[in-house]
Structure 1
Amino acid sequence: YDEWSQEENDYYRDHCFVYEKRPEAMAGVRIPADVAEQARRVSRVFERLKPDLTRREKRLREGDSINPDLLLAYLVRRHKEPSPKVDFYERPQIRRRDLAVLILLDASGSTGEDVGQNAKVIDIEKHAAVILAQGLALLDDRFGVCGFSSNGRENCAYFVYKDFDEPWDRKAAANVLSARPSSSTRIGPALRHSGYRLSPIDARQRLILLVTDGKPMDSEYDPNTRYAQHDVRMACQENARRGIHTFGISTADSSLADMEIMFPRRRFAILSDIRLLPRVLPKLYIKLTG
């Protein structure tokens, strides 16, 4: 993938290499009891959204049920007309949510940091993804769960835990829960590859939900510049031109200035505590796709 240089006002062509990987789930991985309980609570919230997705198609010549009011009107007309139009049948019409979302998890080495209560940042990310995924599966929304890390521009890893055409089941959950932290955080190539994966999907709304614990960092980045932040911004703009929008979620380790560069028009949230993520992520999703 190309990478943007704000200083040069141009791309470094074919600068970054992304390697897609399908990591195997670790043996014996299960959804922790407290995470399963949170997922059930979130699913109940998502369940309440489902009635809005169903309506009745009325005034049909044939269908799977009869509307009593329309039948009565038909009988009245039959006394006045020789052959009134049959239009008293109805059937359910499912109006699916026309969207696709890619949950993109930062799996860099810094997510191995302890946050207390025997949990690491990566654990919180994984648990939040599982909780949200349970709700998405209930709504029948199309979604994928992926992760990323990097070790220089020529070695950007992209992990596919659950693809769009795969069911959300125990295997998919185990894949997510088996994610492990490694190396650095080159966000731009991960966003571009996420856009590449979303672009063939025909949906009215396509969204990347990026969860990260801090600013982009990799071996060739100059910490005294915001080269990486401007590349992330450009990657978001490239995806937006294809109708794919990005929302970034980070911790207080990311400065407001950095987030405003990377995700303009306030398309980001900074959490005071990463442990809030499992509660915040489903609410954000509902707000963004409502």
Structure 2
Amino acid sequence: MEEHVGQIWHRIITRAAATGYPQATVELKEVSKTVGVLFRALGGDGGLRIEATTAAAHGARRNWLQRIAGTHKQVELCWRDGEVLRLPAQINLFPERAINRDLYLWLAALAAGKVDDTLPWFQLNQQLTKKTLLNFPGLQPRYQRLVESLLTLRPDLTRLPQDEAAAERAIQQALRHPGTVGELPQAKRPHQPVLLWLHPSPPINTSNLVHDDEPITQQPSKKNQTVEDKRRRRGERTEMPDGKKGLLAFRLESLFTLAEYVKVDRCTDEEEESDAAKNALDDMDTVSVARDNKPAATSLRFDLDLPAPDYDDTPLGEGILLPEWDYKRQQLRPDYCCLQTMQATSAIPVELPSHLKRVAHRLRRQFEALTPKRIWHKGQQDGSEIDLDAYLLHVAERGRVNAERGLYRDFRGGSRDLACLLLADLSLSTDAWFNNKARVIEVIRDSLFLFAESLSATGDQFAIYGFSSRHRSHVRFNTIKTFKQSYNAAVRGRILMIKPGYYTRMGAAIRHASTLLSQQKVSQPLLLLLTDGKPNDLDQYEGRYGVEDTRMALHEARKLGLQPFCVTIDEKASDYLPHIFGTNNYVVIRNPSELPRELPRLYARLTH
């Protein structure tokens, strides 16, 4: 009974202390595309992802209801780093949805500005605001509405102590007239968060920090795994606890990171359910990570070893050294990657799998219609018949024009002056299952079969390669069909032998594929990339580094006159593919089982 009464009291007091407007809530996922377009259009870094931030304790004064309810201790503020623009997961600060949406757009516009980052937070945000309004006057009415609405929620100056009132007065003046206040007066208590400004002390991104004395390890990527919570936590490094402090015994649990196999001390009861562990994480303001000083023999290292030569594919020639783009240095690293071309050793000629024969027959009939029909070519220097029109015109103009004319015509077929290179991602993630029905690698295999069957009916030039990687020193480039080879049972055997490889170093694979495709002297060279996720590898290629290198490789391909296009089954591809390929140069297949049928049809549309 006491517990029931306590729950009722908690709901009542929490509802009474609430200050938001749930009916006017605007979530980040509703406006993420609009925010991203605005951010980049106003000069923001095009490589930044748009993701949700996390709440942080602010320490400002709360009213008595909020103190009783234990709420309003934290606030979500906007900030950015070299890879991500962080915005609140939802905003219900104002009673009107339009104003809450305007706050998202204003924060994106503010974060797109560039000023002196060495300035104090108070002056920095004023300069950002002033510069944004000066460069984009159309935002002025929106900003004024936001300021007027926000000031009604700010503390009453008459009820604050003298020092806090001075600080609050300076903040309100800076909001009304940005750039007119020099310094923020000091106060004993922190001021209320300014929700129209960027985070005063954003968390430091340590995800890419790897220490020289720590082994590089990584859990195999699971690109199809659903991630429920993308909010970023504040992190810190601390000493390993000795287990002697605290009243409760704790359980040492395990996490995979880029650096090592670490243990997490939550100082809480034994909790076996993942939901309980997630709730414990939600209650933490700071996630502390400590290094375990145990001998290396007790640490777990996870890596992917290459198979023995007797069981591996056959290398074709020596390795090829290729450059890689370092976006931090803004320069190419020459001869930084080693690409090894390979071919399946144990592949034997096979027929088309029986479950694909019916679909392949229908696709071949459709693609035969793309083959140019035989027509009369007139005005030729040589041919099977006299071109009467050209001959009569020649006779009529004989006295005036002495130029030689083509007086013959020939009946022959036309030709499609194009070539396509299909580059398939064969990384470890293709070993995953979807809908508990089939593996991704099986869908890719069927797609390659139907793609080759369709193009063989048109007579178009095409080649098929696969790729995966293990560090920059070993980028595997699997040869399935070259431009010079005809599609036959041997090629089908190599398609049947493809299997999940390692990681996804796209840049090197795209550069080599571009070189092969550019050697085909055609007017329409198409580079078609088939993948199930974003670039990654064991080293720094994870994250934005890999994205920027892939983007640069595609830019180099376009300079060669190639037409790159991406086909993916990654549901989160819209977060990064527009930056890599451009908005109109990729397509997402929502249902992976439809890929084998959709890939040939997509090719037909691209080459129509």
Work out whether the TM-score is over 0.5: yes
Greater shift in the superposed pair: 274-283 or 27-36: 27-36
Amino acid at match of 2:598: V
1:194–1:53: structure 2 CA closer, same or farther, 3 Å change rule?
farther
Look up the match of 1:170. 489
2:340 to 19, 27, 49: 19
Amino acid at match of 1:13: P
> 1:37: Cα distance to partner?
1.6
Greater shift in the superposed pair: 152-161 or 21-30: 21-30
Greater shift in the superposed pair: 188-197 or 247-256: 247-256
Look up the match of 1:240. 558
> 1:59: Cα distance to partner?
6.3
2:427/2:503 contact within 8 Å kept: yes
Who wins on radius of gyration, i.e. which is larger?
2
2:505/2:541 contact within 8 Å kept: no
Look up the match of 2:593. 275
1:5 matched to 2:323:
no
Look up the match of 1:83. none
Separation (CA, whole Å) in 1 of partners of 2:552 and 2:475:
18
1:41 to 362, 367, 387: 362
Separation (CA, whole Å) in 1 of partners of 2:330 and 2:477:
27
Look up the match of 1:133. 452
1:240–1:29: structure 2 CA closer, same or farther, 3 Å change rule?
same
1:82-97 equivalence runs, <5 A: 90-97=409-416
> 1:222: Cα distance to partner?
6.0
Look up the match of 1:184. 503
1:110–1:38: structure 2 CA closer, same or farther, 3 Å change rule?
same
State the secondary structure of the residue aligned to 2:352.
coil
1:278–1:65: structure 2 CA closer, same or farther, 3 Å change rule?
farther
Separation (CA, whole Å) in 1 of partners of 2:349 and 2:485:
21
2:374 to 54, 75, 78: 54
State the secondary structure of the residue aligned to 2:516.
helix
Amino acid at match of 2:538: S
Greater shift in the superposed pair: 250-259 or 163-172: 250-259
Separation (CA, whole Å) in 2 of partners of 1:44 and 1:288:
18
1:254/1:270 contact within 8 Å kept: no
Gaps of 5+ in 1: 78-86
Gaps of 5+ in 2: 1-321, 396-405
Greater shift in the superposed pair: 262-271 or 211-220: 262-271
> 1:265: Cα distance to partner?
4.0
TM-score (norm 2): 0.42
Separation (CA, whole Å) in 2 of partners of 1:245 and 1:88:
39
State the secondary structure of the residue aligned to 1:13.
strand
2:347/2:490 contact within 8 Å kept: no
Amino acid at match of 2:514: G
1:236/1:245 contact within 8 Å kept: no
State the secondary structure of the residue aligned to 2:335.
coil
1:162–1:61: structure 2 CA closer, same or farther, 3 Å change rule?
closer
CA displacement, residues 219-262 of structure 1 (integer Å, 9 cap, x when unaligned): 01364x41111111110010110111211111134431211121
Separation (CA, whole Å) in 2 of partners of 1:17 and 1:184:
14
Look up the match of 2:60. none
State the secondary structure of the residue aligned to 2:501.
coil
State percent identity of aligned pairs: 29
1:196–1:61: structure 2 CA closer, same or farther, 3 Å change rule?
closer
1:107/1:148 contact within 8 Å kept: yes
1:103-114 equivalence runs, <5 A: 103-114=422-433
> 1:13: Cα distance to partner?
2.0
Separation (CA, whole Å) in 2 of partners of 1:173 and 1:36:
13
Look up the match of 1:101. 420
1:213/1:254 contact within 8 Å kept: no
State the secondary structure of the residue aligned to 2:576.
helix
CA displacement, residues 123-150 of structure 1 (integer Å, 9 cap, x when unaligned): 1112111111112111111111100000
Separation (CA, whole Å) in 2 of partners of 1:253 and 1:246:
20
Relative contact order, higher structure (CA 8 A, sep 6+): 1
Separation (CA, whole Å) in 2 of partners of 1:222 and 1:202:
33
TM-score (norm 1): 0.86
RMSD of the TM alignment (CA)?
Answer: 2.5
State the secondary structure of the residue aligned to 1:46.
helix
Separation (CA, whole Å) in 1 of partners of 2:440 and 2:575:
22
Amino acid at match of 2:374: T
Separation (CA, whole Å) in 1 of partners of 2:427 and 2:324:
19
Separation (CA, whole Å) in 2 of partners of 1:237 and 1:150:
21
Look up the match of 1:81. none
Separation (CA, whole Å) in 1 of partners of 2:596 and 2:475:
27
Look up the match of 2:573. 255
Separation (CA, whole Å) in 2 of partners of 1:179 and 1:46:
26
